[in-house]
Amino acid sequence: MNPFIIDVSSLIQGAESAREIEITGELSSIEFGGALVEFISPLKLVAALKKASRGLTLRGEVKVEVKLRCSRCLKSFNYPLEFKADEVFALPEDLSHLPDEVEAFPIHKGRIDLEPALKELIVLNLPFRPLCSEDCRGICPHCGKDLNVESCHCQQQADDVRWSALKKLKET
């Protein structure tokens, strides 16, 4: 059974006005910026579903751990993601009546599928330039050494070349 599909018919019909939900489920990997983002933990969602004038609202918190690639040293690292979810779900006949600025996901046959909404939120909350650590030294652009592991003299040599060029300039 897919834990992200929820029967909300009693909420739409008004038999219930709100419901607390707690879901833990595995997501398939998603594509982001040309790379595949893998999940290394199940996703956990704690939220409240409430009946709204047109459809439902979902408000809560999401926790999941993803595997990202450092934009400086290119190594993979685990990144815990935690963010708030605030989504709207609407009946198909109401989707077109919503104001343009409201993005809603469909309620289909009395059910909602949280997976597309959650995946969209994950993408929005991923760091634009992931870093394995704030002070990652990256890879040397000249010799390709991982500067977190070993140091090289490329930068120093480049400085020396620039320095001697400057010195020559001064001498002439």
Residues that bind Zn ion (CB under 5 A): 70, 72-73, 132, 136, 140, 142-143, 152, 154
Phi, psi of 128 (to 5 degrees): -65, -45
Smallest distance from Zn ion to CB 72, Å = 5
d(C-alpha 56, C-alpha 121), whole Å: 17
Which one, 62 or 70, has the nearer CB to Zn ion?
Answer: 70
Query: Taking phi first (over 0 means left), then psi (-120 to 50 degrees means alpha), and beta for anything else, what does residue 133 get?
Result: beta
Which one, 109 or 129, has the nearer CB to Zn ion?
Answer: 129
Smallest distance from Zn ion to CB 156, Å = 9
Q: Which residues contact 119 (CB under 8 A, 6 or more apart)?
A: 27, 30
Which one, 150 or 171, has the nearer CB to Zn ion?
Answer: 150
Smallest distance from Zn ion to CB 129, Å = 11
Q: Label residues 58-86 b or e (16+ Cβ within 10 Å = b).
A: bebebebebebbbebbeeeeebebeeebe
Amino acid occupying residue 125: N
Smallest distance from Zn ion to CB 139, Å = 9
Which one, 81 or 132, has the nearer CB to Zn ion?
Answer: 132
Smallest distance from Zn ion to CB 70, Å = 3
Which one, 59 or 142, has the nearer CB to Zn ion?
Answer: 142
H or E element that contains 117: helix 114-125
